[in-house]
Amino acid sequence: MSDDLREHIRRLSERAAAMGIGTAFRDAVRRVLEALRQDPRRAGDPLRNLRGLKMTEYRLLREQLVVNYSVHDRIPMVTVWRFQPTSGHPLAPPPHNGD
């Protein structure tokens, strides 16, 4: 996971704490990351093969969080590249109004 993504999760965690849902958010993040550590190929749904990188892209939707990540086809390497709350989550950005 990149430093930028770690920082993004940290900022979400701070916002969650300010909203009174910090513990629940941190626990959800911990469970999601544990699922990726334990069995990333079963944790999410495969989206497409990234043949040039020899990886498969997955999306995990759990506990109102959506995580996009890739898993190398041969070696146990997971790359998380998107971690966002879903639209129904209190931390989700407001919907666009068409402007």
- The closest of 86, 5, 1, 73 to 41, measured between CA atoms, is 73
**Single pTM value for the model:** 0.85
Taking only the tens place, the pLDDT of each residue in 1-40 is: 788 999 999 999 999 999 999 999 999 999 999 999 999 9
What secondary structure does DSSP assign to the chain, as a single string? --HHHHHHHHHHHHHHHHTT-HHHHHHHHHHHHHHHHH-HHHHSEEEEEEGGGTEEEEEEEETTEEEEEEEESSS--EEEEEEEE-TTSTTSPPPP---
What CATH number does residue 14 fall under?
3.30.2310
pLDDT level of residue 80 (50, 70, 90 thresholds): very high
**pLDDT reported for residue 94:** 77
pLDDT level of residue 99 (50, 70, 90 thresholds): low
Residue 95 lies in a domain: no
Residue 98 lies in a domain: no
pLDDT level of residue 95 (50, 70, 90 thresholds): confident
Residue 72 lies in a domain: yes
Tally of domains in the chain: 1
Residue 40 lies in a domain: yes
Residue 65 lies in a domain: yes
Residue 25 lies in a domain: yes
**Domain residue limits at 13:** 3-85
Residue 56 lies in a domain: yes
Residue 44 lies in a domain: yes
